Amino acid sequence: MWFVYAMARKVTTNESRLESILREIQTKLQLLGEATDCPVCLESISADAVSGEAGVALGCAHKLHADCWRHWSAHCANRHKPAFCPLCRNDEFLEDILV
């Protein structure tokens, strides 16, 4: 009986965690759908006529031009830092750009 009770409580806990994760995924998908401008160059994100590349969606759901992301990743690598989203860590982005 105690085993069944403990399992039922665990199921309830897991359900609430899954609901929270699903809400986060839905929010990220909405952000991806609404993104129109690149936060680095401030130009519209659309398929580039020359290269045929569109924006890159990061794990945080922010979107950048593929070329802007390559340049930003290379800049971070030159400073021996992992690449990060310039919007999520805005203070650090501005510090790296201004230095």
pLDDT tens by residue, the chain, 99 residues = 678 888 888 999 999 999 988 898 888 777 666 667 787 888 887 755 445 567 787 777 778 888 888 998 898 899 888 888 887 775 555 666 665
CATH numeric code, 2-98: 3.30.40
* For the chain, domain boundaries: 2-98
Find, among 9, 11, 7, 29, the residue nearest to 19 by Cα: 11
Is the pTM higher than 0.75? The answer reads: no
CA–CA distance, 82 with 68 (Å, rounded to integer):
16
- pLDDT computed for residue 49 by the predictor: 44
Model confidence over 12-34: pLDDT tens digits? 999 999 998 889 888 877 766 66
* Alpha-helical segments (H) within 1-99: 2-34, 66-78, 90-98
Find, among 12, 96, 18, 32, the residue nearest to 84 by Cα: 96
- Bridge partners, residue 55, by sequence: 65
- pLDDT computed for residue 19 by the predictor: 92
